[in-house]
Amino acid sequence: MNALQVAEKIKNNQAWKRAYNKIIKAKNHDDRMLAYQEFENKFGINLNDRIGIYVKGFL
Protein backbone atom coordinates (compact mmCIF):
# COMPACT_ATOMS: atom_id res chain seq x y z
CA MET A 1 0.00 0.00 0.00
CA ASN A 2 1.44 3.38 -0.92
CA ALA A 3 1.22 6.58 1.11
CA LEU A 4 -1.65 8.08 -0.88
CA GLN A 5 -3.76 4.96 -0.37
CA VAL A 6 -3.02 5.03 3.36
CA ALA A 7 -3.93 8.72 3.60
CA GLU A 8 -7.23 8.15 1.76
CA LYS A 9 -7.99 5.22 4.06
CA ILE A 10 -7.38 7.35 7.15
CA LYS A 11 -9.33 10.29 5.79
CA ASN A 12 -12.39 8.15 4.98
CA ASN A 13 -12.40 6.00 8.13
CA GLN A 14 -13.71 7.45 11.40
CA ALA A 15 -11.75 5.06 13.65
CA TRP A 16 -8.48 6.02 11.95
CA LYS A 17 -9.37 9.71 12.08
CA ARG A 18 -10.20 9.54 15.82
CA ALA A 19 -6.88 7.82 16.54
CA TYR A 20 -5.02 10.45 14.51
CA ASN A 21 -6.88 13.29 16.24
CA LYS A 22 -5.86 11.80 19.60
CA ILE A 23 -2.23 12.29 18.53
CA ILE A 24 -2.86 15.87 17.49
CA LYS A 25 -4.72 16.80 20.68
CA ALA A 26 -2.18 15.26 23.09
CA LYS A 27 -1.31 17.70 25.87
CA ASN A 28 2.30 16.64 26.46
CA HIS A 29 5.08 14.63 24.85
CA ASP A 30 4.38 11.43 26.80
CA ASP A 31 0.71 11.43 25.82
CA ARG A 32 1.64 12.07 22.19
CA MET A 33 4.14 9.19 22.13
CA LEU A 34 1.56 6.89 23.70
CA ALA A 35 -1.01 7.92 21.07
CA TYR A 36 1.56 7.29 18.29
CA GLN A 37 2.25 3.84 19.74
CA GLU A 38 -1.46 3.01 19.98
CA PHE A 39 -1.98 4.13 16.38
CA GLU A 40 0.92 2.00 15.18
CA ASN A 41 -0.22 -1.07 17.13
CA LYS A 42 -3.84 -0.75 16.04
CA PHE A 43 -3.30 0.02 12.34
CA GLY A 44 0.24 -1.19 11.66
CA ILE A 45 1.43 2.15 10.28
CA ASN A 46 4.36 4.06 11.71
CA LEU A 47 3.60 7.77 11.25
CA ASN A 48 7.26 8.67 11.75
CA ASP A 49 8.69 6.84 8.74
CA ARG A 50 8.76 8.08 5.13
CA ILE A 51 5.21 6.99 4.28
CA GLY A 52 3.85 8.22 7.60
CA ILE A 53 5.33 11.69 7.15
CA TYR A 54 3.67 11.95 3.75
CA VAL A 55 0.36 10.75 5.21
CA LYS A 56 0.50 13.41 7.95
CA GLY A 57 1.16 16.08 5.32
CA PHE A 58 -1.78 14.89 3.25
CA LEU A 59 -4.18 15.07 6.19
pLDDT by position in tens, the chain (length 59): 676 777 777 777 888 888 888 988 999 999 988 988 898 888 777 777 776 666 666 65
What is the Cα–Cα distance from 25 to 44, expressed in whole angstroms? 21
What pTM did the predictor assign?
0.67
Strand, coil or helix: 49: coil
**Could you tell me if 44 and 36 are in contact, meaning their C-beta atoms sit under 8 angstroms apart?**
no
pLDDT at 36: 86
Give domain limits for the chain.
3-58
3-state class of 8 per DSSP?
Answer: helix
pLDDT score for 30: 92
In degrees, to the nearest 5, what angle opens at C-alpha 12 toward C-alphas 55 and 51?
15
